[in-house]
Amino acid sequence: MAGGDLVVLKLGGSVITDKRRPFSLNREVIKRLGREISEASNNPLILIHGGGSYAHPIARKYSVAEGFKDEHHLRGFIETSMAVRKLSLDVVSCLVDGGLRAVSIPAAAIFITRSGEIMSCNLEPIFSAMRIGVIPVTSGDVVFDRDLGFTVLSGDTIASYLAIRLRAKRLIYAIDVDGVYVRDRVSGEVRVAEEISRGVRIEPLGEGGEDVTGGIVNKLEEGFAAAESGVEVLLVNGLVEGRVRDAILGREVLGTRLKP
């Protein structure tokens, strides 16, 4: 089960939560996104979400990305894991309230990393959900690492990995602004770029709050990797009604396309 019309959708932590306030969930936004995704349900889809204001503050406090060094890091790993589980259940609950048939599949249960890089992935839970018409939902997470003991695996990395491995038609990053912003060399005006390639200087708008996974820089790096593998990659504003639905359906939508 791969390729074809598969869409991989990543909902940014800044879309599903308010990163300025710990454990703040944008419930109505997620319910609306559940409706939009359901309306575009003819496309097979895998959904990933970020850690937002649930996971990032804890992971940063305990430097979880560094791995298992002492009891301080271990406590952070456990607390971050609990925060991610709570967020995932809250997100799926809101998606279901919006009319989407969805099930949470923890990334820590299917991904193993080595020195922070994905080493193995058991895709069977994802395939099993899709076979019965249920949208599999996973997220950025703390995962077991062969060298570090554990580390942080970002939702952006998961989204790119799945899009490449499953030869997805489209990878969509839903963020909290209209796309990637660039500054016009002549006028100095900052605007949304319809299309960008590697090396273009961007203006970092949106994606506020603490992010232990690299924010927009990591998102673009992972997105370009997918684009260079033949996947159509778009960044759109998940806070604006209709844009995620239109992006899933392949319609013209305000946003930024990554050019390989």
Exposed / middle / buried, residue 229 (Cβ in 10 Å: 0-12, 13-18, 19+): middle
Measured CA to CA, the distance from residue 85 to residue 122 in angstroms comes to: 19
Helix (H) and strand (E) counts in the chain? 8, 14
Q: What pLDDT score was predicted for residue 204?
A: 65
Distance of CA 182 to the CA centre of its chain: 22
Q: What pLDDT score was predicted for residue 190?
A: 87
The first and second tokens of residue 110, run together, are 């299917």
Instruction: Please report the sign of the dihedral spanned by the C-alpha atoms of residue 40, residue 171, residue 115, residue 213.
Output: negative
The domain segmentation of the chain, as residue ranges, is 7-258
Q: What pLDDT score was predicted for residue 213?
A: 46
pLDDT digits over 198-249, tens only? Answer: 888 887 665 554 554 456 888 999 999 999 999 999 999 999 999 999 999 9
Exposed / middle / buried, residue 37 (Cβ in 10 Å: 0-12, 13-18, 19+): buried
CA-wise closest residue to 233 among 204, 202, 196: 196
Q: Which residues of the chain have pLDDT under 50?
A: 209, 212-213
CA-wise closest residue to 81 among 131, 40, 141: 141
Q: What pLDDT score was predicted for residue 184?
A: 77
Q: What is the DSSP pairing of strand 102-104 with strand 149-153?
A: unpaired
Measured CA to CA, the distance from residue 231 to residue 227 in angstroms comes to: 5
CATH of domain 7-258: 3.40.1160.10
- DSSP alpha helix (H) spans, 66-175: 71-97, 124-131, 155-165
**pTM for this structure?**
0.92
The first and second tokens of residue 141, run together, are 């997470």
Percent share of the chain, pLDDT over 90: 73
Query: Are 146 and 119 contacting, i.e. CB atoms less than 8 angstroms apart?
Result: yes
